[in-house]
Structure formats: C-alpha cells, structure tokens
C-alpha cells in the first residue's frame, strides 16, 4: 500500500471546519446571522484574512449567504444540502412532489419500524404547536413548527443520512406548507388530520398505513 503523509490543514481550512461544526451543532442555527469578522478573529485566534477566506469558501458552496449591509447568514447545514436546495428551487412542482414522495415514503416506513416513545412525543409536540400557531394566525410559526414535525418524523428513522437529506429539502417543504395555508383553511385542517393519523400509524407500527398517509398528504399539498 502506498504510504503518503497526512496533509497539514491550513488555518483557513481549520476555520472552515470550525464554522461547519458550529453550523452542524446548531450553535449557528439555520437562518441566523453569524458573528461579525472581528468577533470571529478573536474567537478563532486567526487573522482577518483567514476568516475572510473561510467565509468566502462557505459562501461559494452555498452554506453561508452574505447580505449587503446586513451581515452573513446561515442558509444551509452543508454544501450537499445547499446543492440539493438550489436544484429543488429550479425544479417544477411535479418533480419536487415526486422527490418528496420517494423520500418521505421511506421515512414513514422506517419510522414505523423503529420509532421510540420519545420519537412519538416529539412528533405530537410539534404538530400541536403547529396547530396552535395556525389558530392564532401566526403563519410563520405554523410553517416552522410544521417543518420541525416533519424533521421529527425523519429523526424517528434513526438514520442520520436520511435526516440530512430531509433537511436539504426544507425549503421545498416550507414552500408547499405556505402555499397550502394560503389556498384554503379547509385544506390546512385536512392536512392536520392526516398528520395526526400518520403519527397514530407510526405509533402502531403500521407500515402500509403510514405510507398511504404520506401519499395522501402530498396529494393534498400539491392539489
């Protein structure tokens, strides 16, 4: 076997890795504004040029977004997520629905097989909060809580890669929820009922019913 020495990381690469860790751990949550450059220089113990190069690299791959006069924001948890998100933004509604169905059907199936009691509690919590926000007319909170409900479903698969893939389509999920809220109050009530039934099916480990309910929810979302 060919032996090659390990490559030493540059300060820029170390800064990139540290920033990615902060994003992955949600110390820098999605949508949040990261600290300004002077604070990063002090926190990371590297030069301003190193910080700038690290930021440029993460902006280039779509993990961060620089907003003129406002700061730099976290817009994805990884370069893979950023790539998939941008591809979904360019896709038409049919393509997005098909991708979501393939992914969410498998999520529902695995969640039904592997869920724990704490997984079920987490799903019910976010669905309840989503419903409460909707009744109060807080559409922004409703959409965010609905996304956390879907993320709790993905987490119940106990497959980290599936969770990461689902996070990458968060934008498409939130767009469809927003559209559903705007289209009809009746449709939102129908979706809540389907989600309640989906949790019940997963709790009862009824794989076939869980898959059927995912199909119904997506048919309703894109109707």
Q: CA-based angle 204:145:176, to the nearest 5?
A: 90
The whole-number pLDDT of residue 8 equals 60
| Total residues belonging to the chain | 223
61-71 confidence digits (pLDDT tens): 788 889 888 89
**Which segment of 81-90, 133-142, 152-161 scores lowest on mean pLDDT?**
81-90
Average pLDDT, the chain: 85
Give the residue-averaged pLDDT of 144-173. 85
**Tokens 């990261």 sit on residue:** 34
The first and second tokens of residue 47, run together, are 């030069």
70-116 confidence digits (pLDDT tens): 899 988 777 666 666 666 667 777 887 888 888 899 999 999 999 99
21-44 confidence digits (pLDDT tens): 898 888 998 778 999 999 999 999
Cβ neighbour number for residue 40 with a 10 Å cutoff: 22
Q: How confident is the model at residue 54 (pLDDT cuts 50, 70, 90)?
A: very high
Give the residue-averaged pLDDT of 166-187. 64
Q: Which long-range contacts (CB under 8 A, 24 or more apart) does 22-28 make?
A: 23/63, 23/74, 23/77, 23/78, 24/77, 24/78, 28/74
173 or 198, higher pLDDT: 198
The whole-number pLDDT of residue 175 equals 62
Q: How confident is the model at residue 203 (pLDDT cuts 50, 70, 90)?
A: very high
144-155 residues labelled b (16+ CB within 10 A) or e (exposed): bbbbbbbbbbbb
The whole-number pLDDT of residue 180 equals 57
Cβ neighbour number for residue 9 with a 10 Å cutoff: 11
The whole-number pLDDT of residue 176 equals 58
Give the residue-averaged pLDDT of 49-59. 92
Please tell me the distance from the alpha carbon of residue 162 to that of residue 148, in angstroms, as a whole number: 15
**Which segment of 17-31, 167-181, 203-217 scores lowest on mean pLDDT?**
167-181
The whole-number pLDDT of residue 6 equals 43
């Amino acid at each position: 076997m060919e032996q090659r020495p390990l490559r030493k990381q540059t300060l820029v690469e170390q800064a990139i890795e540290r920033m990615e860790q902060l994003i992955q751990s949600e110390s820098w949550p999605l949508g949040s504004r990261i600290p300004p450059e002077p604070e990063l220089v002090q926190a990371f113990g590297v030069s301003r040029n190193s910080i700038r190069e690290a930021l440029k690299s993460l902006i280039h791959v779509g993990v961060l977004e620089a907003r003129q006069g406002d700061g730099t924001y976290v817009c994805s948890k990884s370069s893979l997520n950023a790539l998939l998100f941008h591809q979904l933004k360019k896709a038409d509604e049919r393509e997005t629905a098909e991708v979501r169905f393939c992914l969410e059907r498998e999520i529902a199936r695995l969640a039904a097989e592997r869920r724990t009691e704490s997984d079920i509690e987490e799903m019910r919590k976010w669905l309840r909060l989503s419903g409460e926000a909707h009744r109060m007319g807080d559409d922004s909170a409703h959409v965010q809580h609905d996304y956390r409900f879907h993320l709790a479903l993905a987490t119940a698969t106990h497959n980290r890669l599936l969770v990461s893939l689902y996070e990458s389509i968060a934008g498409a999920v939130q767009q469809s929820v927003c559209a559903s809220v705007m289209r009809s109050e009746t449709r939102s009530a129908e979706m809540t009922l389907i989600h309640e039934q989906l949790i019940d099916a997963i709790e009862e480990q009824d794989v076939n019913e869980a898959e059927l309910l995912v199909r119904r929810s997506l048919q309703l979302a894109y109707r």
